[in-house]
Amino acid sequence: MTKTLLRALAGETLPTPPIWMMRQAGRYLPEYRATRAEAGDFLSLCYNSDLAAEVTLQPIRRYGFDAAILFADILLLPQALGADLWFVTGEGPRLSTITGPEGMRALKGKDDIHDHLAPVYETVRILSRELPAETTLIGFAGAPWTVATYMIAGRGTPDQGPAHALREGDTETFEALIDLLTTSTIEYLSMQVQAGAEVVKLFDSWAGSLKGDAFDKYALTPAKRIISELKARHPGLPIIAFPREAGDKYVGFAKAVGADCLAIDNSVSADWAAETLQPDSCIQGNLAPGHMVTGGQALIDETRRIVQTFRNGPHIFNLGHGITPDADPENVQLMIDTVRNG
Ligand code: CP3
């Protein structure tokens, strides 16, 4: 019997939607915190294939999600391209910055990334052996624009200001970076698929800050290039696109880029998405992550409402963004029970 997540991605309307959660392996789980401590720090955990596989499996064991997402980070690719990367506890990622053509010249090429990323491919191989037969393995990468925002600013920024400034002030350097990220993301995801990933997801967390033509050039076009090349190399590979906070730009996105599923954030209404987006593709989402902190009847009501709203088309239940470290693990169980038992 085909796995439920793959059936939804193939366009089937199921009586109960398959369910998984962004950042399901994470700091809200005590067993994650213990394994991260064993690894030493977050990046050491990402590059320790046995422990990265272990934290991927933890939420599957605890909750029986329908999918597992490879434990890694979107910023491992820039590191493989030669950027310095480190994480400041309590603050987030830091990277060396790309501010002009000399920064681009210092980076490696798209085919030079695999030695560095070999532990990630090994994590995928371990997972494809160890996951339960009914659980789908999702690989992922950041979309070029989102990864570029971190490589340009050297950190997360509230408005992606430095990336927009380079885009406008030195378009040539900016486009060279988007191009390198587009081609290397194809190589990176293709290797994840060869290692055993059954689905891939492209995270464009900052797509919403690109407007108008800029959205089409730097969010839509790179996604389309990545997806069409992956589908040419791996016929039938299901792909989830997540142009977060795209708003009206969600309309037609899945068809335009060739994605099988559009993941939506919780700033758009489920009613609107069911009517406007779901006829084009499977929809993934879109419970507000805050319910995993607050729980109670509001969590139950919202979960039921989202399941009901998307029940007439292909749907994968998920949050609108990653679960936060202050979430209560019992609320995750309550969400799953509500999705599965009504
Ligand atoms: O979803 C999963 O469970 C799979 C693993 C995964 C991680 N990061 C692990 C992680 C995935 C898919 C990501 C994607 C990612 N990483 C994105 C895109 C999705 C999104 O959240 O918007 C982005 C922008 C990043 C970059 C990144 N990684 C930031 C900004 C941070 C710091 C913020 C934070 O939550 O601490 C990270 C760290 C990170 N990546 C953690 C995890 C579990 C927390 C690290 C820790 O354990 O201390």
Tens of pLDDT along 163-219? 999 999 999 999 999 999 999 999 999 999 999 999 999 999 999 999 999 999 999
State how far the Cα of 314 lies from the Cα of 107, in Å rounded to an integer: 41
Position 318 in a domain: yes
Tokens of 30: 């005590």
- Residue 36 is among the residues annotated as catalytic for this protein: yes
Active-site pick, 36, 250, 260, 265? 36
Q: Using CA atoms, how far apart are residues 75 and 68, in angstroms rounded to an integer?
A: 19
Q: Which residue, among 4, 6, 19, 12, has the nearest Cα to 333 in the 3D structure? A: 19
Name the closest-CA residue to atom 2, ligand 1: 23
CA 247 / ligand 1 centre spacing (Å): 22
User: Using CA atoms, how far apart are residues 70 and 80, in angstroms rounded to an integer?
Assistant: 17
Report the candidate in 81, 97, 219, 90 with the shortest Cα–Cα distance to residue 155: 97
Structural domain containing residue 323:
1-21+264-342
Return the higher-pLDDT residue of 89 and 172.
172
Q: What percent of the chain has pLDDT over 90?
A: 99
Q: Is the CB of 157 under 6 A from ligand 1?
A: no
Q: Tell me, yes or no, whether 288 lies in a domain.
A: yes
Q: Is 32 in the pocket of ligand 1 (CB under 6 A)?
A: no
Residue 100 has pLDDT above 70, yes or no: yes
Of 32, 47, 63, 73, the active-site residue reads 73
CA–centroid distance, residue 23 to ligand 1 (Å): 7
Q: Is residue 279 included in any domain, yes or no?
A: yes
Share of the chain above pLDDT 70, in %: 100
Report the pLDDT value the prediction gives residue 136, as an integer from 0 to 100: 98
- Whether 316 maps to a domain, the answer reads yes
Q: Is residue 290 part of a domain?
A: yes
Q: What is the pLDDT of residues 113-161, one digit of tens each?
A: 999 999 999 999 999 999 999 999 999 999 999 999 999 999 999 999 9
Would you say residue 144 lies in a domain? no
Q: Is the pTM of this model over 0.85?
A: yes
| Residue of 19, 22, 23 to mutate, ligand 1, most atoms within 8 A of C-beta | 23
CB of 200 shorter than 6 A to ligand 1:
no
- Express each pLDDT in 200-215 by its tens digit: 999 999 999 999 999 9
Closest by CA to 66, choosing from 21, 30, 28, is 21
Average pLDDT, the chain: 98
Q: Name the CA dihedral angle for 199, 200, 205, 211, rounded to a multiple of 10 degrees.
A: -100
Query: Does 64 reside within a domain?
Result: no
The answer to whether residue 335 sits within a structural domain is yes
What does the pLDDT read at residue 43?
A: 98
C-alpha 44 to ligand 1 mean position (Å) = 14
Q: Is the pLDDT of residue 1 over 80?
A: no
| 22-55: pLDDT as tens digits | 999 999 999 999 999 999 999 999 999 999 999 9
Known active-site residue 62: no
Nearest-atom number in ligand 1 for the CA of 25 is 3
Q: What does the pLDDT read at residue 342?
A: 86
Alpha carbon nearest to ligand 1 atom 21, residue: 322
How many domains does the structure of the chain reveal?
1
Please list the residues that pair with 86 across neighbouring strands. Answer: 94
The structure tokens 């406008």 sit at 168
Q: pLDDT at residue 294 above 70?
A: yes
